[in-house]
Amino acid sequence: MSTEELQKRTTVNIQEKANLIWAIADKLVGTYKPHEYGNVILPMCVIKRFSDTLAPTKQKVLDANALCEQRGLAVRKGFLTTASGYDFYNVSPFTFEGLLSDADNIADNFRSYLNHFSENVVDIIEKFDFDKEITKLDHNGILYNVIQEFCSKKAYMGADEISAVDMGYIFEELVRKFSESYDEQAGAHFTARDIIYMMTELLVAPQREQLEEEGVTATVYDMAMGTSQMLDCLSEKLLEIDPEAQITEFGQELNEQTFAIAKANVLIKGGDAENMRHGNTLSDDKFEGYTFDYIISNPPFGIEWKNEKKAVEDEHKRGDMGRFAPGLPAIGDSQQLFMLNGIAKLKEPDGEHQSGGRMAIIQNGSPLFKGDAGSGESNIRGYLLDNDWLEAIVQIPNDMFYNTGIATYIWIVTKDKAAERTGKVQLIDASKCCEKRRKSLGNKRNEFTDRCISLISRAYMAFKDGVYEDGELVVESKVKDCDDFKYTKVTVERPLRDEQGNPILKKGKPQPDKSLKDTENIPFKQDIEAYMQANVYPYAPDAWIDEKNNKTGYEIPFTREFYKYVAPRKSEEIFAHLQELEHQESALMAKIMGRQKG
């Protein structure tokens, strides 16, 4: 099944199931406000997902637990997980459906049922702070009705019928609905699958043949994982290449609810849930000292890091021992800090057995150009470019995300560039490579189809200047030297003059006039003196450079690289067009006035 077919099938499954589940919120009307529905629906979905998945082996678990009790065994986890077939279990005598048999005691029985889950599941449920919702539901007489609704066929979520990837996206759709009702930015949790598939393709495309031949053993990491769908899709891609791939997923997430969903998702699909960790990636790195084969992430952009300021600055002071040595961006936007976190966690190549790590990370336009020479933003770009880790930047179309229509970019960063890419950066303008959705989802009006992904991948793998087309789809590629994005900012001084217009000297040297001070950004590849001779001295022959103030800057003028000059229309054409519009207006007014007189 193609990526596009899989995406369409899954989209239907997601929306149908999510809509049916969200409809259960009708039972909450009056007791909860719309923006509070998710406080019940999301944890109930997680609980029901665990319950349905465990249902086929429920009796085996109860039998194993009874046997452990007979033998007086205090340590039972191994026996119970073997019986359940998963790394979690529930030893309550109740089944989820069985809770309905005792309406009068349903709250106490429900709590007992939840407390009999294994510790790793109890930890997930606690992240939702769900006990207070049980009390609220019970006191308002609707707990029974809600549980009854989740026992219906429409709410079945067992792993035998719904894959981990599909369930993850059902959760994402529910989170999106919850966020919209709460007037939150849904995109803080949600990256559409088509974009993730594009990212995974760019990550693995250069290594595909090697992975097919040698097999896949990989660690993958998302530093802002949401409900872990990027990790799921990357694992899915690697399993397509090697069905026996050995993949270990790692992720960190700040939001407690989405973290709980991610941990539940990993548990059910048989991964190591301890690799899913809760906390602030910038100020409380849960993976210090770890490095990974692949990193895929869509961290927040345009979000200030004021709350993390002390921890971030302390780590910056650690220099190369920390993640933020190259510099710190402005306090109003944290996305380049996530970029630095990712760079620090990419595996280093050993030249023989271990390939270097690869990262696909989404950024908006600011990291391309914001920040003057010597600023934190510029120095971070320089860190990437001077170390030759930046492989490619792909501009994706506008209106691809649910919560924003602005221009966004996929940065491909690697510590193991292919020989032909050494010292080069590939820029790919894929802003016109998308297809319109039949129905918008928030701001998402466009999407990547298989054709789009294939065309962008073809341009990426060709690694040369050129325009690539497939029908109406167009992609343009440019290959640049790393030094093309480097410049020297020089301070140009002019002499201070006396009343007679003569330069004022001190120890034989002209004194600078502060009011005439100026700067020039000179391309790194260009000789500074030659630039001054051509561009400054003809207009200011008395100027000189204060070399002690020279600074190296870095800027990636992506838009300028792909700018196409369009000659303005000739004046006579414009005049003729205006005359034609006047004639049309006169004719229209005459027609309107004629009707009124009639």
Token pair of 484 as six digits: 């093309």
Token pair of 432 as six digits: 């016109």
**Can you tell me the distance from the alpha carbon of 22 to that of 37, in angstroms, rounded to the nearest whole number?**
9
**Can you tell me the distance from the alpha carbon of 54 to that of 46, in angstroms, rounded to the nearest whole number?**
12
**Can you tell me the distance from the alpha carbon of 234 to that of 210, in angstroms, rounded to the nearest whole number?**
17
Put residue 513 in one of left, alpha, beta given phi > 0 → left and psi -120 to 50 → alpha. Answer: beta
pLDDT tens, N- to C-terminus, the chain (598 residues): 455 555 554 555 677 788 888 888 888 999 998 888 889 999 999 999 999 999 999 999 999 999 998 888 777 889 999 999 999 999 999 999 999 999 999 999 999 999 999 999 999 999 999 999 999 999 999 999 999 999 988 889 898 888 877 887 788 778 777 766 554 444 444 688 899 999 999 999 999 999 999 999 999 999 999 889 899 999 999 999 999 999 999 999 999 988 998 999 898 888 899 999 999 999 999 999 999 999 999 998 889 999 999 999 999 999 999 999 999 999 999 999 999 999 999 999 986 667 899 999 999 999 999 999 999 999 999 999 999 999 999 999 988 887 666 789 999 999 999 999 999 999 999 999 988 888 776 677 888 999 999 999 999 999 999 999 999 999 999 999 999 999 999 999 999 988 888 999 898 899 999 999 999 999 999 999 999 999 999 999 999 998 999 999 999 999 999 988 777 777 777 878 888 888 888 888 887 777 655 5
Q: Which long-range contacts (CB under 8 A, 24 or more apart) does 178-182 make?
A: 178/35, 178/37, 178/38, 178/41, 178/42, 180/442, 181/34, 181/35, 181/37, 181/38, 182/35, 182/38
**Buried-exposed string 41-66: b where 16+ CB fall within 10 A, e elsewhere:** bbbbbbbbbbbbbbbebbebbbebbe
Element spanning 477, H or E: strand 473-481
Element spanning 585, H or E: helix 571-597
**Can you tell me the distance from the alpha carbon of 11 to that of 456, in angstroms, rounded to the nearest whole number?**
23
The C-alpha angle 268, 270, 276, rounded to 5 degrees, equals 80
- Residue 392 φ then ψ, to 5°: -160, 155
- Residue 243 φ then ψ, to 5°: -60, -20
Report the DSSP pairing between strands 466-470 and 390-396. Answer: unpaired
Element spanning 554, H or E: strand 551-554
